[in-house]
Structure 1
Amino acid sequence: MQPFPFDIVGFDLDGTLLDTSGDLAAAVNHALAQADRPPLAVSAIKPMIGGGARHMLAQGLAATGGSDEELLERLHRVLLDHYARNLSVHTAPYPGAVAALNALEAHGVKVAVVTNKLEGFAREVLRDVGLLDRLSCMIGGDTLGPGNSKPSPAPIHAMIQRSGGGRAVFVGDSIYDVAAAHAAGVPAIACRFGFLMQPVEELGAEAIIDHFDDLLPALERLG
């Protein structure tokens, strides 16, 4: 039996490992309501996800009439407070995600998460869905300090170090994910089912998957 080609498979969280769109959209719309803005559809909010909560809210405000820095800061806290109370109401792993993790672990591969979500929120939601204890490490958007979230390569380098080293690959759904992986010298796999800001083919990933059933074959081809 051939050894598996990767020692570490890292995953983005929102739009990759977990479908968090329902809970994130609810938090955005709760914040927008405080400014008497109309709610946005989940489908409209999905492309805003990936750069962190503040970035997501800024785009939501821009889509509903714009904002200044003071309004953005005030509503950012409103959004975070609401999300903290409602992290996992609608959130769940994508179809096939848990089976893919099982298969990777059966091959002796370490799995990790690198997300731009705040570390505290990420740990709690991963705990809620039963995945936190399966990870070799979990790095959030604030784990390494300002300026060290994706698309910086720093969290990918930290993921590899904290997982014990070896050949790594990163799976995500945004240009932040692919750019961070490539800056760290790591191949990227893009998810067509994620919260895409642009056509998945434009992300520049080495492979694209339509479902988690495609992940292991894609990894084996890359290897």
Structure 2
Amino acid sequence: MSDEYDTFTGEPRSESVRDRLIGATIRLLADAGPAEIKVRRIADVTGVSTVAVYHHFGGVRELLEAVVGTGYRALKAALENASNADPDPGAQLFAMALACRELAQRNPHLYDMMFGLSTRGTYRYVADAPKDGPVAAFVDAYTVFADACHRLVRAGRITIVDGYVVAAELWSAVHGFVTLEIAGHFTRFPHPVTDVLASMAVNHLVGMGDDRDRAQRSATTAIAWWEIRHA
């Protein structure tokens, strides 16, 4: 597990003041939500003066941009790890869905902020942000997912030949599931991963031209990898 992945829970990567401020903000998001992200509170939790926040980031907006960028880098690390689940690109994609789900469950408020589902004051995710900002960090993470979709296409598993179309459709499905689950909409299902996510993933692959048995094996392989990883 990488340092960036750990940072998603608010554990600082180093003893630098900048990283400590990012970690404190991530923990506040997890514990209290975006409404409580205030300079004084962040400074108190970190054990520094409020001047440090402005010195390192300029203000809360810039601090939150750094937090969102950190979240995307954590997502990228998790997706890269999931890509090693199995040589089967279908299993890789399903493992990536499980990795995304875990990150969202670890810190739902951070996940919401990363994808513009919640805001804090002057901060909102915007598509025309600086090229070296959070949007670029998301593109880096999304590319890992898209690469697995390209491998699925090259393997001849599906009839769609544009891997970017596959990535857009599957990412939309995974993001929808993750968002609805953390909002509490799947509590009626005893096992949301197998009852909803796996079934949806298999159906999507079959709809794209995959063999159902082969698609089911991909899901089963990924779940087995996930269970071993968390044993």
Which TM class, normalised by the smaller chain length? 0.3 to 0.5
User: Which one has a larger percent helix, Structure 1 or Structure 2?
Assistant: 2
**So what's the TM-score if we normalise by structure 1?**
0.36
**So what's the TM-score if we normalise by structure 2?**
0.35
Name the structure, 1 or 2, with higher relative contact order (CA <8 Å, separation 6+): 1
User: Which one has a larger percent strand, Structure 1 or Structure 2?
Assistant: 1
